[in-house]
Amino acid sequence: MVIVGLLLLPLPPKLQTVLISNYDKLISNPNISIILSFIDVLIGIMFVDAFKNGFGMIGKEDEVIEYSKNLWETRSRKFYSQRNMYILGAVLSFQVCIWFIMMLLKSTVKHNDLLSGKIAQREGDKAANEKPDPELAERAR
């Protein structure tokens, strides 16, 4: 959540460029990408397991209560599964948000650099066009 908040701040363009370039270097590192992929898969598996345990008991509560003979144990298992599902779902959604925000920031920084380069080129062209032609100056005399 802190990362999303930091990414959404209106940072100066140079700081945004540094942030994006460091992020690209970090993500392009094969070790980091393998670690992040492993974490994503692990969180996804935990989310699916929590979903099955949390909502798999709906409609079967009477059977589970008769089998376990302990109502509070069944309810607490269901509660913890649903809690874990909500937490893991939030983590997965934040990962998607961070990926999407970084994709947008990369595009913004790239287009900003292209635009600033074209503006500088146009200003250079205008300055070159505004130079007085020496032949015209001699003819005017």
Query: Mind listing the pLDDT tens digit for each residue in 116-132?
Result: 777 666 666 666 566 55
| Predicted confidence (pLDDT) per residue in 74-127, tens digit | 778 888 888 888 999 999 998 898 889 889 888 888 888 777 777 666 666 666
Q: Do 92 and 100 contact (CB within 8 A), yes or no? A: no
Rounded to whole angstroms, how far apart are CA atoms 87 and 85? 6
Q: Is residue 73 part of a domain?
A: yes
Q: Is residue 29 part of a domain?
A: yes
Q: Is residue 44 part of a domain?
A: yes
Q: Is residue 115 part of a domain?
A: no
Rounded to whole angstroms, how far apart are CA atoms 21 and 81? 39
Q: Is residue 91 part of a domain?
A: yes
Number of domains in the chain: 1
Segments forming the whole domain that contains residue 91: 14-106
